Amino acid sequence: MPKQEPFERVRNFDEVALGYPPAVAREEAGRCLACKKPGCVAGCPVGVDIPGFVGRVADGDFAAAVRTVKQANALPAICGRVCPQEEQCERSCVLGKKGDPVAVGRLERFVADWEAKEGAADAPPLPPLNRFRVAVVGSGPAGITVAADLATLGYEVTVFEALHEAGGVLTYGIPEFRLPKAIVRREVAYVRSLGVALRLDYVVGKTRTVDRLLEDHDAVFVAAGAGLPWFLGVPGENLNGVWSANEYLTRCNLMRGYRFPATDTPLRRAGRVAVFGGGNVAMDSARTALRLGADEVRIVYRRSRDELPARLEEVENAEEEGIIFDYLTLPVRLIGDDRGRLAEIECLRMELGEPDASGRRRPVPVAGSEFRMPMDASICAIGNSPNPLVPMTTPGLEVGKGGTIVADEENGRTSRDRVWAGGDVVTGAATVISAMGAGRRAARSIHRALAGAGGGEVA
Amino acid sequence: MPRVVEQAMVVPNIHRLTLEAPEVADAARPGNFIIVRAAEDGERVPLTLADWDPKAGTVTSMFVQVGASTGRLARLGAGDEIPTCAGPLGNATEIGRFGTVLLVGGCYGIGSITPIADALARAGNSVVALVEARSSYLLYGEDRLRDLGARVIVVTRDGSQGHKGHVTRLTEVLEREALRPDRVIAHGCTFQMMQVSEQTRPLGIKTIVSMNPIMIDGTGMCGVCRVTVGGETKFACVDGPEFDGHEVDWEEFLARREGYADEELEPLHRSGCASRF
């Protein structure tokens, strides 16, 4: 897929990957063998009819391809960009055994973008409203999926979003250059076109508790995300210039700090930046810092390249752009100047020992290997816990290790009657598509519970 | 979008903002705060609640005009609509029967201690409100505090009203007023809250302060509001904003308040004001 050249893209926030032209999309789709038992569909958390839509792309019937995708996935332009297809649909593709699998993600993106350009597919015909009202807490991938599924079944759905823009992590977390916000807005607009009401600036747990919502809703689906940032727990972490990835990315994305001072929320443009962590959020933070004019951006990661949890595509993008990777390096102390600003970071060298519970080789510090690097800012991207506001204010809602809401994996039911939950608030930080899968299963369960035995299947 | 019911300068540089936000008004408790945005692409500004009226569906905050974003708020007028008023956020002030409670309020804090005075008086406490300002013309809200049953002590830096001095002389004021509070609650600028805490520490009086760090979302998401309390990192937005003033790491907090000081001046430069910074 064509991309912006590295030297060019590090100076702008425009999308890096440019998407397939139609002829290339048709050619790529034409490689699909249309297997009788498609592994790709089994590998998709929401069960998109992949051979179906890919076949229509190959035929050049892009409108039909869009309709096929949207039967199972309300957010194809987003999933086509941020799903880890290499671990899901594309991993099970038979062509992948000898060569490259069909580029399902890129084709999904292609059809969604084609629709956006052509303005083709309308919302599906909606059944008359049934008598049930459902409240959805959070407008990220899980919440939006539940809302779309239930709306198409005739439910009156209201989504309550704590921030001033819908989309959850798609809006505040993932940067413009990886997922343009216009796309998120378009997908949210599609869900609203299904009759879903959206209440912004509405903090469930504060403005209203879940129990209050249950007074005038038949069910509540909690998808409040994993928004509580972790810090390393090392000395000096509250120095100025030490940020959580959430703070940094929220300032940049949600608050559009990359345009400061044209916008109002300040974002510091630091010269030397260290990012702690090795996941997609770490890559996003590092590449954002580069685009904001940093001279030197380092990813400081305690394991080696093979263990990076980030998608390979994002690691390669970061490498191409000139991000420096300090592998087997553990930050142990942050050192400030006399004004309480970060000046240096102290790290230890690590080596890989025996495999740990995750199957990855455990990094072990090398004694006496301390060294320091001068640093103007550091960004902590080592993970998040679920937001505590709903669990704190919902008596009887069972909470597990690390503050996650305990919910049945199959149907999203929680310990509270009429309360379902899904997405990162249940699993801890995971992927967009797994949150959507949880939303899909919960919508089905809510439908069965409310509409009873007479309820049909969720499309 | 929330509508502005009133926006007025009460005393020089201190403004009162009343917004239509029925659901926020309905859930508001003393010590809560709201987050407002004056415009699209505007900053999210946290403001402690000074009043609310569930019947009218309105909430009121006092704010000091200090920078670009509070400048935008200060230009609002009745009937204007703003994109965001979210809340009520943070934990409410602990209200119990403590005995004598001294509330210390400075600048916007004179407003935000008012609902706390009301709740404490209703709970059967003897409430004393110490309001302080640089000079008498910067004081407001004393009558309202008296109406709620509080005894009001005024301290002005220039002595133009009440005791002459500053909260740095709180111990002296307590002696002169023959006051021995069972609990102190301070709202206002960082320096004031820090000074109050320093003075009550040797007296062994439990002191609660309402921290006012930099915030973005106000819901526990960004962590910029972190405060070290009793050696532990807390998020002011979800764990606070009120903490034990004797446990707060004030030096760190003062530094963190300046975290974006250089950047915050930028829009002022560009707008042409504050050109002599």
- The tens-digit pLDDT sequence of chain A (459 residues) is 888 989 889 888 899 988 999 999 999 999 999 998 999 998 888 889 999 999 999 999 999 999 899 888 888 888 888 888 888 899 989 998 889 999 999 999 999 999 988 875 566 778 888 889 999 999 999 999 999 999 988 999 999 999 999 999 999 999 999 999 999 998 899 899 999 999 999 999 999 999 999 999 999 999 999 989 999 999 999 999 999 999 999 999 999 988 888 888 888 889 999 999 999 999 999 999 999 999 999 999 999 999 999 999 899 999 999 999 999 999 999 999 998 999 999 999 999 888 888 788 889 999 999 999 999 999 999 999 999 999 999 999 999 988 999 999 999 999 999 999 999 999 998 888 889 889 989 999 999 999 874 444 444
The C-alpha torsion from A251 through A257 and A261 to A262, rounded to 10°, is: -130
CATH of the domain at A183: 3.50.50.60
Q: What is the reported pLDDT for B199?
A: 94
Of B94 and A125, the structure prediction assigns the larger pLDDT to B94
The answer to whether A424 and A435 are in contact (CB under 8 A) is yes
Q: Which residues of B touch A226 (CB under 8 A)?
A: none
Q: Is B273 on the interface with A (CB under 8 A)?
A: no
Q: What superfamily in CATH does domain B4-89 come from?
A: Translation factors (2.40.30.10)
Question: Can you give the pLDDT at residue A451?
Answer: 85
Q: What is the pLDDT of residue A121?
A: 59
Q: Which of A5, A23, A38, A193 is nearest to A110 (CA)?
A: A23
Q: B85 and A251: CB-CB below 8 Å?
A: no
What chain B residue is nearest to A203 in terms of C-alpha separation? B87
Query: For residue A81, what pLDDT is reported?
Result: 86
Judging contacts by C-beta atoms under 8 Å, the chain A residues touching residue B88 are: 206-207
Distance CA A248, CA A245 (A): 5
Half-sphere exposure of A252 (CA within 13 A, CB side): 29
Do both A278 and A341 map to the same domain?
Answer: yes
User: Which string of DSSP letters, residue by residue, matches B38-87?
Assistant: SSTT---EEEEEEEEETTTTEEEEEEE--SHHHHHHHT--TT-B-SEEEE
Q: Is residue A389 less than 8 Å (CB to CB) from chain B?
A: yes
Chain B CB within 8 Å of residue A211 CB: no
The verdict on A267 touching B (C-beta cutoff 8 Å) is: yes
Evaluate if residue B64 carries a pLDDT over 90. Answer: yes
**Best CA proximity match to B221, nearest among B112, B89, B92:** B89
Q: A374 CA to chain B: closest CA distance, Å?
A: 19
Interface touch B223/A229, C-beta < 8 Å? yes
Higher pLDDT, A285 or B274: A285
Comparing CB atoms, the residue among A207, A227, A256 nearest residue B23 is A207
Asked, for residue A10, whether it belongs to a domain, the answer is yes
- B37 touching chain A per CB within 8 A: yes
CA atoms within 13 A on the CB side of A157: 29
Q: What average pLDDT does the segment B216-242 reach?
A: 94
- Residue A325 touches chain B, beta carbons under 8 Å: no
* A320 lies in the same domain as A339: yes
> B86, A243: Cβ pair inside 8 Å?
no
Q: How buried is residue A293: exposed, middle or buried, by Cβ count under 10 Å (0-12/13-18/19+)?
A: exposed
Q: Which tokens hold the place of A130?
A: 């049934």
User: What is the rounded distance in angstroms from the CA atom of residue A275 to the CA atom of residue A299?
Assistant: 5
- Three-point CA angle A162, A165, A171, nearest 5°: 105
Q: Are A292 and A269 in contact (CB under 8 A)?
A: yes
Looking at the structure, do residues A29 and A87 belong to the same domain, yes or no? yes
CB within 8 Å: B219 and A207: no
Does A281 share its domain with A192?
Answer: no
Q: Which of B43, B217, B233, B256 has the highest number of chain A CBs within 10 A, making it the mutation to test binding with A?
A: B217
What's the gap in Å between the CA of A438 and the closest CA on chain B?
22
One domain, residues A261 and A367: yes
Residue A274 contacts residue A379 (beta carbons within 8 Å):
yes
Do residues A373 and A400 both lie within one domain? no
**Where does chain B hold its CATH 2.40.30.10 domain(s)?**
4-89
Residue A126 lies in a domain: no
* Buried-exposed string A192-208: b where 16+ CB fall within 10 A, e elsewhere: bebbbebbbbbbbbbbb
B187 interfaces chain A, CB cutoff of 8 Å: no
Interval B116-139 mean pLDDT: 96
Nearest to A74 by CA among A204, A178, A225, A183: A183
Count of CB atoms situated within 10 Å of the CB of B202: 8
Is any Cβ of chain A less than 8 angstroms from the Cβ of B121? no
Interface of A with B in 120-159 (CB under 8 A): none
The residue ranking higher by pLDDT, B33 or B169, is B33
B203 and chain A in contact, CB less than 8 A: no
The letter for the amino acid at A350 is: M
Q: Does B44 touch chain A (CB under 8 A)?
A: yes
pLDDT of residue B267: 63
For chains A and B, what is the number of CB pairs under 8 angstroms?
128
Domain span(s) for CATH 3.40.50.80 in chain B? 100-257
Contact B39, B82 (CB under 8 A): yes
Would you call A185 an interface residue with chain B, using a CB distance cutoff of 8 Å? Answer: no
Q: Please check whether residues A145 and A189 belong to one and the same domain.
A: yes
Look at residues B87, B48, B46 and name the one whose alpha carbon lies nearest to residue B69. B46
CB atoms within 10 A of CB B71: 17
Which of A218-227, B24-33, B66-75, B267-276 has the least mean pLDDT?
B267-276
Total domain count for chain A? 3
- Specify if A127 maps to a domain: no
A335 and A285 in a single domain? The answer is: yes
Q: Per the structure block, which two tokens stand in for A349? A: 């060298």
Same-domain check for residues A14 and A80: yes
Q: Is the pLDDT of residue B276 over 50?
A: no
Verify whether the Cβ–Cβ distance A264 to B27 is below 8 Å.
Answer: no
CATH number of the domain at B100-257, please? Answer: 3.40.50.80
pTM: 0.92
- How far B230 CA sits from the closest chain A CA (Å)? 14
Interchain CB contact of A163 with B (< 8 Å) = yes
- Domain boundary residue, one of A363, A381, A399: A381
Report whether the peptide linkage leading into residue A175 is cis, meaning its omega lies within 30 degrees of zero. Answer: no
**In a mutagenesis test of the A interface, which of B222, B233, B268 is the best target, namely the one with the most A β-carbons within 10 Å?**
B222
Residue-number span of the structural domain to which A218 is assigned: 133-227+385-454
In terms of phi and psi (left: phi > 0; alpha: psi -120 to 50; beta: otherwise), the region of A13 is: alpha
Which residues of chain B does A247 touch, with a Cβ-Cβ cutoff of 8 Å?
A: 216, 222-224
Per the CB < 8 Å rule, is B267 touching A172? Answer: no
Helix axes A50-59, A62-72, angle to 10 degrees: 170
Whether A142 and A200 map to the same domain: the answer is yes
